[in-house]
Amino acid sequence: MRVVKYQRVSTSQQELENQTNALDKQIELLGWTLVGEYKEVISGIKDNRPQLQQMLEDARLRKFDRVIVFSLDRLGRKIVQVVNTIHALEESGVHIFVVKQSIDSSTQSGKIFAQFINIFSELERDMMISRQKEAIDRIRSKGGKWGKGKLISQEQRDRIVSLRTEGLSYRGICKELDISLGSVQHTLKMKDRMSA
């Protein structure tokens, strides 16, 4: 069995040695062949982790059969990061072995665990989208800014449609309502899609 180690610590003050010892012991115990290792000092919150990305690329190239990691939180601090990493490995035909939690994705119980993680990931994503939508709606109702420009309320959208129906030009609507041309165009484009 060709295996690689993935190790990560968040700061340079932390040591990889504890992870290294546990992983080496497990590899020896199971009689696997170590063919590489990926080490990084980077926060698990960050999405751009060069060594993790390189490992996933090497997995796609089938340079190894299994990844061994000390703990799930080494793969990421967010459930969605962990799920995406496990999923990318599984799609490449590479299994993962997590020492601390005794998870082996090549076993039935490991596969069940991965499915539970996927469920929690979807739940986390749905909650994030819901919170974001609520925040946008709150900002929109107060006429606040979101991104590059102001969000427009439903009343303003209705007024845009009404003014356009009355024959006012796009630029005339912009001046009348003090909103951007892009907002007018987008609102009318969405109205046309709903009508079709």
pLDDT of residue 22 exceeding 80: yes
pLDDT of residue 112: 85
Tokens describing residue 103 = 């998870």
From the list 140, 62, 107, 171, the residue with the least C-alpha distance to 115 is: 107
Q: Where are the domains of the chain?
A: 2-122, 152-195
pLDDT in tens, 121-147: 677 778 878 888 888 778 767 766 666
Among 55-59, 134-138, 149-153, 190-194, the range scoring the smallest mean pLDDT is 149-153
Q: Are 89 and 13 in contact (CB under 8 A)?
A: no
pLDDT in tens, 142-169: 766 666 556 688 888 899 999 999 999 9
Rounded Cα gap, residues 192 and 190, in angstroms: 5
Rounded Cα gap, residues 149 and 151, in angstroms: 7
Q: Which residue has the higher pLDDT, 161 or 112?
A: 161
From the centroid of its chain, how far is CA 147? Answer: 20
Report long-range pairs for 147-152 (Cβ below 8 Å, ≥24 apart): 149/180, 149/182, 149/183, 150/179, 150/180, 150/183, 152/179, 152/183, 152/187
Residue 38's CB is within 10 A of a number of other CB atoms, namely 20
pLDDT in tens, 74-104: 988 787 788 889 889 989 999 999 999 888 9
Q: Is 132 left (phi over 0), alpha (psi -120 to 50) or beta?
A: alpha
When pLDDT is averaged across residues 163-176 and rounded to a whole number, the result is: 93
Whole-model pTM over 0.85: no
When pLDDT is averaged across residues 112-122 and rounded to a whole number, the result is: 75
From the list 148, 149, 171, 146, the residue with the least C-alpha distance to 160 is: 171
**CATH entry, 2-122, from 3.90.550.10, 3.80.10.10, 1.20.58.1610, 3.40.50.1390:** 3.40.50.1390
